[in-house]
Chains A and B, each alone.
Chain A
């Protein structure tokens, strides 16, 4: 649905993006992650036709954002990280304004606005002045605006930025709901925990370069071949490696901050059974495969240099 191909960009003498390639499949929630200043917002603004790339091209549903920005704008809803709202209108007036701006017929406008308010749970606030709304509500309103023309693609730049925990959970639920409606959602964030429950694929950007892109699991496997098991013991031995020393296919045994053992190994279920058998005398409380979580992938992929 979105193809970013060899994109590069400079601001004056400063190169901010270098040969950025990634592909967002249709109907997915895609995470675009990276530290502050990595070039996420610049890339998203290119996708949204607000900035033209110096090199390469960006295609949305096969349409080049430079050649036909009007067609691209019909395809996408973009919520920038820092946006303004018209303060002296009410919620319904705001949405009605944008529905008219999107050229939605007058007869269909009220229905569209109502549906979008229902989806974003803004119905009870319909007559409230935008100036009197909290930041979280304004974020909802901004998302509602992007949905008015029923775009195929949603690009949300730091959608949960500055929201309280409850509003973040609500935002996550909304994004999942949008995915269920068939939208392709591209989310940028540097808060990985908020993304991990939503995204299936990611692109990791650092210093204007894509360091990794693809399915989260595949990236994790690429980083660390084999399997990792988390094992919680009732009475862990002083030397946690001792029970597994003679197993040549166990690469690493370490202790997690929560006290659980992390066992990296090659092999199938037989190896798992043997690992459990060797640990059983120490009181096995829980055994679970370790997930390739975004935080770990991110830390391993990025270098943590100042951007």
Chain B
């Protein structure tokens, strides 16, 4: 900008030229772009770190938290040293105090800290600028996650010298400390990702912080208690000396190369951490992306990873059971793993009827086209994907449980009943999960509300669980006394029937009881088929109407444009009819395949604003013009 005087000068001199868009990397080669991506830091990470390090509050927090932690650890150490404990034990107690306090800080602070990262953009009115810059959701979410993670890593770095107090007493090694910090990082990453996910879905920073604290406190208490409990369980078999939540630091330091320690204390937690971080970040991306974009594909990719990790975890856990209780244990693992497809059924039952309208930046290749049309975003393809995933998950569970049982315990005498039991469970549970999936997806399309659909679907599931149970109790309460031989008839339609059959077979043998699984398989299988067919038909009908309306709108606009070729204003309309100015498709609704303008699905594909379509029942044009404000997180997967 120039002053008036300067503008006179500028009139004589050529105006400064902006560099041509050739500077934008889209014009460059793929290799060069890749190299630049790898060496160029995420701009959000850089910007956030600059902002954080210039915030006095953060620096004060660093000083204060480190000071309080140091005083607490010193006080704890001093009181222990004053007793009769040997110095090495005091060192181990100090070690546990330090890491437990650091863990509490992480659990409390990390989600709340991360929860401000995207809401602050919305509240500060900078979010739109970010979106308009063309940054994709993954780049934004990744930058925010890394920035929050890095700033909290600084807190851990500030804490680090305090652990030196433990070395004064002995009893610990640098390896213990290293694994202790690794444990903190394992907690920090999902805690931050959780905060980012909250931040992406909420508008208010205060609400985000409050919710993060409300959820992280009970989760933290449960997590620390579970850690202590697991430590006590591992204490004997792994000959550990340390007590407290950070027992795994000693286990990993002393027995890292023992396969059970490596698998259960390192690989399994690593899988849990990466899967939860991935899941939360996929959720954050769905929160950042407008409803008109693909929100389900990140969850689909995640689900494949979760499936692979779960199957690997089953192999590891079957391996640590003994051959004596192998049959029962395999069913327990199968049932626990069976929660995963149930979760998948709920997760993917929240797709809008139609796939996103937004065109991809580049035309998709043949494989991607195949994916998009058959298993991609949109209610019908996503349901197909989830159904395949559920079948695959159950098949995988059955295979790995049976195969690992034969691998680890080749001479066990329980293979027959264990194998039949797990088959009975997986087949029956597949039908139940498919039914839940197709029912939930259909409800989502009909109700246009994902939360309501999930609540109703799970309500129906619990109803199917409770009603047979209560009726059986009313009719003949004693029938449960001999359930190990014969399951009461009404319970055959319960969704827990597969589990009951599997437990019965694994405990008592009688592989022929697998036939009892037929009733739930037929009932839930037929129901799921019915729901699925209705869903596909409904989606097809909506798509047809929307396509017809789009074509009609374009034709109408072209015709009107021809009549109004210049900048001339439109013809003035009747003064007393301000809201009925021949909206695009309302002019001739019969001509576009007779769209039923007042039908609820007329406001699809974006169903998150039903009020708008209800307010304009006479304007079917709103069918193909879903309203999306990218600054508003909407109902999503």
Contact = CB atoms under 8 A, between A and B. Distances in A.
A93 B17 CA distance: 21
B569 A214 contact: yes
B634 to A, nearest CB: 12
Chain B interface size range: 35 or more
Interface in B526-578: 553, 556-557, 560-561, 564, 566-570, 573, 578
Interface stretch (B3-11, B94-102, B458-466): B3-11
B134 A215 contact: no
A115 B359 contact: no
User: Which of B3, B129, B132, B568 has the most chain A CB atoms closer than 10 A to its own CB?
Assistant: B132
A21 B564 contact: yes
Given A66-B357, A67-B358, A150 B21 contact: yes
Contact of A12 (B292, B560, B612): B612
Contacts of A3: 561
B562 to A, nearest CB: 11
Contacts of B628: 51-52
Interface string A162-179: 000010011101100100
B54 to A, nearest CB: 5
A145 B621 CA distance: 36
Interface stretch (B23-31, B85-93, B174-182): B23-31
Contacts of A252: none
Contact of B561 (A5, A52, A85, A171): A5
Nearest to B22: A108
Contacts of A5: 557, 560-561
Contacts of A211: 569
B1 A55 contact: no
A115 B18 contact: yes
Interface string B572-591: 01000011011110000000
A112 B23 contact: yes
Interface stretch (A116-124, A186-194, A269-277, A285-293): A116-124
A50 B128 CA distance: 8
A219 B104 CA distance: 70
A121 B1 contact: yes
A50 B569 contact: no
A80 B629 CA distance: 14
A116 B578 contact: no
A103 interface: yes
B50 A214 contact: no
Contacts of A207: 578
B129 A98 contact: yes
A27 interface: no
Interface residues of A, number: 91
A173 B570 contact: no
Nearest to A12: B611
B50 A89 contact: yes
Contacts of A119: 1, 15-16, 18
Contacts of A51: 627-629
A107 B26 CA distance: 14
B134 A103 contact: yes
Contacts of B173: none
B618 to A, nearest CB: 12
Given A12-B612, A54-B612, A149-B24, A97 B36 contact: no
26 contacts: A5-B560, A9-B627, A12-B612, A13-B611, A18-B579, A19-B582, A21-B569, A23-B567, A25-B567, A50-B131, A53-B625, A55-B621, A56-B584, A57-B557, A69-B358, A97-B46, A102-B133, A103-B26, A104-B24, A111-B23, A150-B19, A150-B23, A169-B3, A170-B2, A171-B1, A181-B18
B50 A88 contact: yes
A53 B623 CA distance: 11
B43 A8 contact: no
Nearest to A5: B557
B367 interface: no
Contacts of A116: 18
Contacts of B604: none
B498 interface: no
B630 interface: yes
Nearest to A169: B4
Interface of B: 1-4, 6-7, 10, 15-26, 28, 36, 39-40, 43-44, 46-47, 50-51, 54-55, 124-126, 128-135, 292, 357-359, 361, 553, 556-557, 560-561, 564, 566-570, 573, 578-579, 581-584, 611-612, 615-616, 619, 621-622, 625-631
A230 interface: no
Contacts of B568: 213-214
Contact of A101 (B135, B556, B561): B135
A82 B127 CA distance: 12
A49 interface: yes
A122 B16 CA distance: 13
Contacts of B54: 88
Interface stretch (A32-40, A70-78, A235-243, A256-264): A70-78
A49 B132 contact: yes
B50 A93 contact: yes
Given A85-B126, A104-B24, A105-B24, A98 B584 contact: no
Contact of A73 (B16, B132, B564): B132
A22 interface: yes
Nearest to B560: A6
A68 B128 CA distance: 17
B612 A8 contact: no
Given A50-B629, A70-B361, A170-B2, A97 B570 contact: no
A18 B47 contact: no
A147 interface: yes
A150 to B, nearest CB: 5
Given A54-B627, A55-B622, A210-B569, A170 B3 contact: yes
A244 B19 CA distance: 60
Interface string A119-153: 11110000000000000000010010101011000
Contacts of A214: 566-569
Contact of A140 (B1, B43, B561, B631): B1
A201 B25 contact: no
A177 B10 contact: yes
A242 B583 CA distance: 53
B616 A10 contact: yes
User: Which of A48, A49, A54, A69 has the most chain B CB atoms closer than 10 A to its own CB?
Assistant: A54
Contact of A212 (B10, B556, B569, B616): B569
A84 interface: yes
A100 interface: yes
A105 B615 contact: no
A52 B625 contact: yes
B47 A97 contact: yes
Given A18-B579, A21-B569, 20 more contacts: A3-B561, A5-B560, A6-B556, A8-B581, A10-B615, A12-B612, A12-B615, A50-B132, A66-B625, A82-B125, A88-B54, A101-B130, A104-B25, A111-B23, A118-B16, A140-B1, A177-B15, A201-B567, A211-B569, A212-B569
Contact of B567 (A9, A22, A100, A174): A22
B22 to A, nearest CB: 8
A15 interface: yes
A145 B132 CA distance: 11
A86 B47 contact: yes
A108 B23 contact: yes
Contacts of B131: 50, 73
